[in-house]
Amino acid sequence: MAILHITKENFEKEVLQSKEPVVVDFWASWCGPCKALAPILEEVDAELAGTVKVAKINIDEEEELAAQFRVMSIPTLFLFKNGEVVNKSVGLAPKEEVVAFAKF
């Protein structure tokens, strides 16, 4: 499964209405830790395919979503289940922590 690119147009369908839990990464292209987290998220997406979706929201392109979720630092991960935020993590984390986060 590929990592989803989320916009305000597909946020409700892909995240809030998802039957699977969704890990959403708020990131920016200029963010070093975000770049370091990207390959980790690719691995997590492959490892948890079919049980958890992984999605990314570029804060520079989707300022409204970043503001809605009060994203102050990036990378910030949110875990959504049944349309609700159930977990949040700020900063770069190793793969093991991201997998544990996604299985929360």
Query: Is 56 labeled as catalytic in the residue annotation?
Result: no
Question: What six digits make up the tokens of 32?
Answer: 């070093």
> Residues 4, 23, 34, 55: which is the catalytic one?
34
Asked whether the beta carbons of 26 and 74 are under 8 A apart, the reply is yes
Peptide bond into 75 cis (omega under 30): yes
Which strands make up the sheet holding 84-90, listed edge to edge? 4-5, 53-58, 22-27, 76-81, 84-90
Beta bridge partners of 78: 24, 88
Tokens 């929360």, located at residue: 104
> Residues 3, 7, 28, 31: which is the catalytic one?
31
Query: Is 34 labeled as catalytic in the residue annotation?
Result: yes
Annotated active-site positions, please?
31, 34
